[in-house]
Structure 1
Amino acid sequence: MSLAIATCQPTSSSDPRANGAEVRRMLREAAAAGARLAHFPEGFLSGYAVEDVSSWDTVDWALVRRELEDVAALAGELGIWVLLGSAHPLTAPHRPHNSLYVISDEGRLVDRYDKRKCSHTELTRFYSPGFDAVVLDVDGFRFGLAICIEINFSDLFAEYDRLGVDCLLLSAYPVDSIFATKARAYAAIHTYWVSLSVPAQTTHLFHSGLIGPHGEWLGDVGSDPGLVVTALDRRDPALRGALDLARPWRASARAGHIYDERRVVDERSRVRTEF
């Protein structure tokens, strides 16, 4: 009925070695605090295009892979799941994917989410798009994955609702403060938790943290680099309205049968040009 996750807010850089060390430091902190899953920002391990990386030619991909392998090994040692943003290189001349690696608590790479809705700059200069939704199940909770500008595509968030996710893991490198308002709205509309992970460089816009199915913040990292461990708690009385009442009723409403069975045949209903 409850699962603790760590929403991380590290300082990003163009150095995969420094980024990997920061991930491992935060994993140890998260595991010590009882987290079963640690969630990191967009593009963090490799460095995010434009902000941290001006050209993929400057990236040492062998180093990126070694750092990822070290992170995976530590995840297995600590018994913690890791959702880690990084560019994922493809075969030349194809551009990388903007990805979230899914590393299990056994230290295995079990899946990867590739950003589907890339920005114009990303698509024309830096990344190849992905095309598939990704879900994962951890200790009885289902998670969906999304990245940054995908916040503007409501169909992706509705898709994860149909896939039955309990929590959406949203990694970003945001450029405006309205981003957090949109995330809160999706959480409240679809009545699922949203973990929002951004780098420390963007905390002047908003902080990383966990949003509840009622659209309110449940955990907040604050303005400094760090993480917050917050529970997804189905027994929380504050969430009863969202989880026990709103979510099942909205599912019935979307299916439509509660309206179809009350459809009336009435001339006053059919004619829409009379008062």
Structure 2
Amino acid sequence: MTQNGNLKRRVRARAAKTGESYTAALQHIRQPPDEPDIRSIRMAVAQTSLFNDPRDVSALHASGTEMRRLMRQAHQAGTRLLHFPEGTTCWPHKRIMSEIGPREIGPSDWKRFEWSALREELEATRRLASELKLWTIFGSVHQLTSPHRPHNSLYVISDRGELVTRYDERLLSNTKISFMYSPGKKPITFEVDGLRFGCALGMEVHYPEIFVEYENLDVDCVLFSTAGETPSNAPAFAAEALGHAASNTYWVSFSTLAPQSTAASSGIASPDGQWAVQCPMTGLPAIAVADIKTNPQSLARPWRRKARSDLYTPHHMEGDPRSDDRNLF
């Protein structure tokens, strides 16, 4: 009993010093000193209802209520981090926002957005994240000063309820860049319990360079959030998320809106390109929970980094190798 009590005190002391969860601190202390440090975290991925009319105050409040219900579920499951889709708070419809709509798509009229109601929900969500000690990452429109268009963003709220960073979608669709949003400029990373996370958004799953960039930034997991009204595009997006996880040998969390889940639900992809966990394919709001961890003994990621360098240059043949090949037809 004394030995067990001493262990618990050591774990609590480390957790208080580093900000790690109790589980992460325990794992570090139990790790043999001559073995590489394995870091892990329990996280959840969500799929949420579609709210696409920012003029509707009651809908904005309903989206916040749903978010916080899922946050409490994630907390009860012992998670440290919860990842939400693009447009969790509201995913403004291009025709609702169009100055010349709804029949035609034109520049968005952002004066139609009930910004005060959104701010109320953001504040309530921030407070709950602090109360639950839960890192909460969710999609929201980020207002800029007029006449600048807003960003399509992911907010990163810490377990202290602080906005620690924000990711703004960089590679926008034609409609978004033509009529709706200002593009972001840079990748962002943040750390929780020793694991490094990156963020991607919208249709950026189509661009391998986004995910290679995060591999170069040494992330352990990319949080990719997307949205959609119908399930038609979801399978392709999910397949690409699996491919990025496998080709970069890191975790990818794929979070989308519930209407898409009947074809491809939200899930967490492991570094071998397989789903570690997925939400139900029901079209309803839900979360799925997985323990993700680093694998310092894996040789795949170091080798791929080496292969992407100038490893092969000394092995290239000079001149035309066909001149020495006697077997060409």
Q: Which deviations, in whole Å up to 9, do the C-alpha atoms of 1:93-144 show, x marking residues without a partner?
A: 2111000001000000111000001111111111111111010111011000
Q: Is the 8 A contact 1:166 1:193 kept in 2?
A: yes
In the TM superposition, residue 10 of structure 1 has moved relative to its aligned partner by 1.3
Q: Which deviations, in whole Å up to 9, do the C-alpha atoms of 1:186-233 show, x marking residues without a partner?
A: 110000100000011111331100000000000010113200011103
1:23 aligns with 2:67: yes
Correspondence 1:24-63 to 2 at 5 A: 24-50=68-94, 56-63=110-117
Whole-angstrom distance in 1 between the partners of 2:154 and 2:42: 20
Correspondence 1:51-130 to 2 at 5 A: 56-130=110-184
In the TM superposition, residue 151 of structure 1 has moved relative to its aligned partner by 1.1
Unaligned runs of 5+ in 2: 1-38, 54-58, 99-108
Q: Which residue of 2 aligns with 1:7?
A: 45
Q: What count of residue pairs does the alignment treat as equivalent?
A: 264
Q: Is the 8 A contact 2:50 2:90 kept in 1?
A: no
In the TM superposition, residue 53 of structure 1 has moved relative to its aligned partner by 5.8
Identity of matched residues, % = 41
Q: Which of 228, 236, 247 does residue 178 from structure 1 map onto? A: 236
Give the strand-richer structure, 1 or 2. Answer: 1
SS in 1 for 2:322: coil
Q: Which of 202, 205, 211 does residue 263 from structure 2 map onto? A: 205
Aligned residue identity for 1:272: P
Whole-angstrom distance in 2 between the partners of 1:254 and 1:128: 33
**Bigger Cα displacement from structure 2, 100-109 vs 224-233:** 224-233
1:227 aligns with 2:287: yes
In the TM superposition, residue 152 of structure 1 has moved relative to its aligned partner by 1.3
Q: Which of 207, 222, 227 does residue 153 from structure 1 map onto? A: 207
Whole-angstrom distance in 2 between the partners of 1:118 and 1:33: 35
Q: Which deviations, in whole Å up to 9, do the C-alpha atoms of 1:24-49 show, x marking residues without a partner?
A: 11111101101111100101113344
**Bigger Cα displacement from structure 2, 144-153 vs 246-255:** 246-255
Q: TM-score, normalised by structure 1?
A: 0.90
Unaligned runs of 5+ in 1: none
Q: Is the 8 A contact 1:172 1:197 kept in 2?
A: yes
Q: Which of 268, 271, 275 does residue 320 from structure 2 map onto? A: 271
Q: Which deviations, in whole Å up to 9, do the C-alpha atoms of 1:150-207 show, x marking residues without a partner?
A: 1111111110000001000000014512111111111100001000000111113311
CA RMSD of aligned residues (A): 1.9
